Amino acid sequence: MSPPSSTQVELLILGAGWTSKFLIPLLESNDVPFAATSRNGRQGTIPFNFDPSSENNEQYRCLPDATTVLITFPVTENVKALVDGYQRVRKHVSVNWIQLGSTGSFKQSAGWVDRHAGIEHVPRSVQEGELLKHASATVLHLAGLWGSGKRYPVYWVKRIAPNKTALAAKGSLHLIHGEDVARAILATHRNFGKLAGQRWCISDLRVYDWWELVSSWAPSVQNGECDTAEDPRLWVKQLMGERGVRALPRPMEQLGRTLDCWEFWEVIGISPTVTLHSAIAYTA
Query: Comparing C-alpha atoms, which of 68, 118, 62 is closest to residue 94?
Result: 68
Buried b (16+ CB within 10 A) or exposed e, 109-125: eeeebebebebeeeebb
Instruction: In whole angstroms, give the CA distance from residue 65 to residue 46.
Output: 13
State how far the Cα of 230 lies from the Cα of 219, in Å rounded to an integer: 11
How much is the pTM? Answer: 0.92
Please write the tens of the pLDDT for every residue from 6-53: 579 999 999 999 999 999 999 999 999 999 999 999 889 999 999 998
Least confident span in 1-5, 84-88, 235-239: 1-5
Q: CA–CA separation, 149 vs 142, rounded Å?
A: 19
CATH code of the domain made up of 5-149+175-204+257-268: 3.40.50.720
Confidence of residue 3 (pLDDT cuts 50, 70, 90): very low
For the chain, the domains span 5-149+175-204+257-268
Are 202 and 142 spatial neighbours (Cβ–Cβ below 8 Å)? yes
For the stretch 196-247, pLDDT in tens is: 999 999 999 999 999 999 998 876 544 444 456 678 999 999 999 999 999 9
The angle formed by the CA atoms of residues 103, 173 and 211, to the nearest 5 degrees, is 160
Peptide bond into 249 cis (omega under 30): yes
CA distances from 64 to 57, 60, 67, 80, 92 (A): 14, 9, 10, 19, 11
Amino acid symbol at 187: A
